[in-house]
Structure 1
Amino acid sequence: MAGFDLKEGMYEARNVSDDELWSAFACVFSSKSRNDSSYKFGFLKAIIDNLYNVDANLKLSFDQLFNKFGEIYWNLILKYGLRQKAVTNDNRETYLEQVLHAAVEKYKILEPIPYESLTAEMMLDISHQVKMKCKKYVVGALFEDTNRLFYSFSKKEEWIQINPVMYEFVCKHKVIIEKLNYYEWARFLERVNEETVAVKLLNKIDESTKRNNLAIYRQILYEEFESKTCFYCGKQLSPDKIDVDHFIPWSFIKDDNLWNLVLACPSCNRKKNDKLPAGDYLAALVHRNQHILIEAYRPEMKNYQERMVRYVYNWAKINGYDKIWQPERRKVLV
């Protein structure tokens, strides 16, 4: 049975060398992998962007994955006008394009708007429609293309469970795997789109899930969970001069996790930029997150694990984020 037809699959639990793990991804990025659409590249990005949202058993729900999947393609298809499949004789759209264009009509959206501007109800509806249309083929196809080493899955129960050996491997080589995926994805899009549309493809793919409006998080952090001072230098923050900073850079995380967001003064946010803060700030972040867990239950913290924060910080360093930053004026840390 072809991989895309499988209703469930189990990863091969055995000792595997790094060479064999690299080979599993090489299959995805080689000509051996059949790609009628860009879905496998998009699904791989959805998994990678959710790496740090797994539960204690390394499981991700289809809702988590296809919410990210829908966000990626909302921007690529509607914002940037990129086709995800070669033109057919009848000019038929992919199921995914049909779902997104139907949503535009349903919600009377007159012009392309960023995914972040949709209401929570719209996002929920769209990601559900995307899941129902796309889970049938893409989950089993990527499972098969990675030589049954990446994850187990159940379409009935709607989850994937990442192989622990593969999970550690992907976390250690995240940036390289991500770039390979972007490169092959961009090559595919170049083949199926007109030259006038297919410009700066790597940037468009990379930023397809980047949200510029972090106001909701600013409000949560400012009013409920932190003192009103810069997380890094301790400077008093005025309401009109507050930045939300990704403690571990967004360019590595590729997600807006509440546990990774802190309030900073504009100066610290600008100077820190794409660097990791010094290690003692990591302990302060863990302490802050424990406060969030105690004070209120939030869905954003559902799968939060203290040890995961420390792992992600170290994986970022392994992936090249080795320029450590700290402000000239330091906050007194707990």
Structure 2
Amino acid sequence: MIAYYNKLSGSELLLPYTFGDEKSLKKVVKFNDGWIQMIQDNMVSILGWIKYEKVKWLQNNNPEVPGIVYKLAQDDEKARKLDNVRKLWDAILEIRPVKNVFMDGDINGESYAVDHFIPRNFVMNDELWNLMPMDPIQNMKKNKKLPVWENYFGQFANNQFMMYEMIFEKPELLKLYKQCYKDNLHSIWAIQELYRKGNSADEFRNILDKNMHPVYDSARRQGYDIWDVS
């Protein structure tokens, strides 16, 4: 095998390394200078590819744990990135009222929090499809708990659809929506299905339900508590 490898290296095919003629444990591996330079010049890309393949393997073998790529990120990459989402909801609230998902009445546009329907410490991301304007006091009470799906997903989905409709009605909102791409729109299903132009209310809600409900159920199976809003 070693002889075959060295023979290949002597042809026009330039291999990364060859084996010396030494015997047993004294055998030397000789790296090609051209390959060494190429690896050094592209180290960031190579390490990124290795990390990607590791994360892909982990995610495929741990389907009950969403967002593994975010959980493995460095601390500075885990910081919440809600500024652009808040700007979008600020602009919407200036145009029309937004119903509170968890209580009667509308969101106070002067004092509200942007929070995750499914807890952030489970999904480990700030995706637009999981975010909502919320009363700050309720936000603190909810903390890392799950809302009762049957009671609150409907209004959450309604608010999401209202945002979706307004994005395509108001050019200034569409511009703010596009600014969310970098930090808040990474899910392929959200970009290609949920936020594509032309969805009806039922289509939008079904897409959101189909993709969010399994994540919610996974969080329940892993022991996340249900939030008693009352």
TM score, norm. by length of structure 1: 0.39
How far does residue 311 in structure 1 lie from its aligned partner after superposition?
A: 1.6
1:138-176 Cα offsets, whole Å, 9 max, x none, are 424663x68xx839xxxxxxxxxx8xxx2xx5231459x
1:64-91 Cα offsets, whole Å, 9 max, x none, are xxxxxxxxxxxxxxxxxxxxxxxxxxxx
- Does 1:310 find its partner at 2:213? yes
Structure 1 counterpart of 2:91: 223
TM-aligned CA distance change 1:229 to 1:220, over 3 Å: same
TM-aligned CA distance change 1:274 to 1:141, over 3 Å: closer
How far does residue 266 in structure 1 lie from its aligned partner after superposition?
A: 1.4
How far does residue 232 in structure 1 lie from its aligned partner after superposition?
A: 1.4
Name the Cα RMSD after superposition: 3.7
Q: Which amino acid aligns with 2:154?
A: A
Aligned equivalent of 2:156, options 278, 281, 285 = 285
The gaps in structure 2 that reach 5 residues or longer are 1-39, 169-176, 179-184, 195-206
CA distance in 2, matches of 1:133, 1:240: 48
Q: Which amino acid aligns with 2:229?
A: P
- Map of 1:178-193 to 2, 5 A cutoff? none
Aligned equivalent of 1:296, options 159, 167, 172 = 167
TM-aligned CA distance change 1:315 to 1:207, over 3 Å: farther
TM-aligned CA distance change 1:251 to 1:288, over 3 Å: same
Structure 2 counterpart of 1:320: 223
Instruction: Give SS of 1:240's match.
Output: coil
- Does 1:256 find its partner at 2:126? yes
Number of aligned pairs?
156
- Map of 1:3-152 to 2, 5 A cutoff? 134-140=44-50, 143=53, 150=57
Identity among equivalent positions (%) equals 21
Aligned 8 A contact 1:232 1:326 in 2: no
Instruction: Give SS of 2:62's match.
Output: helix
How far does residue 274 in structure 1 lie from its aligned partner after superposition?
A: 0.6
Aligned equivalent of 1:210, options 46, 68, 79 = 79
Instruction: Give SS of 2:133's match.
Output: strand
- Does 1:172 find its partner at 2:64? yes
Q: Which amino acid aligns with 2:157?
A: V
TM score, norm. by length of structure 2: 0.53
1:161-200 Cα offsets, whole Å, 9 max, x none, are x8xxx2xx5231459x78xx86xxxxxxxxxxxxxxxxxx
230-239 or 306-315, which deviates more: 230-239
How far does residue 281 in structure 1 lie from its aligned partner after superposition?
A: 1.3
Instruction: Give SS of 2:132's match.
Output: strand
How far does residue 262 in structure 1 lie from its aligned partner after superposition?
A: 0.8
CA distance in 1, matches of 2:136, 2:78: 23
How far does residue 263 in structure 1 lie from its aligned partner after superposition?
A: 0.9
The gaps in structure 1 that reach 5 residues or longer are 1-94, 96-131, 152-161, 183-203, 329-334
TM-aligned CA distance change 1:150 to 1:249, over 3 Å: same
TM-aligned CA distance change 1:220 to 1:141, over 3 Å: closer
CA distance in 2, matches of 1:220, 1:231: 18
Q: Which has the higher contact order (CA 8 A, sep 6+)?
A: 1
Structure 1 counterpart of 2:19: none
Aligned 8 A contact 2:66 2:123 in 1: no
CA distance in 2, matches of 1:326, 1:218: 26
Aligned 8 A contact 1:217 1:258 in 2: yes
How far does residue 214 in structure 1 lie from its aligned partner after superposition?
A: 2.7
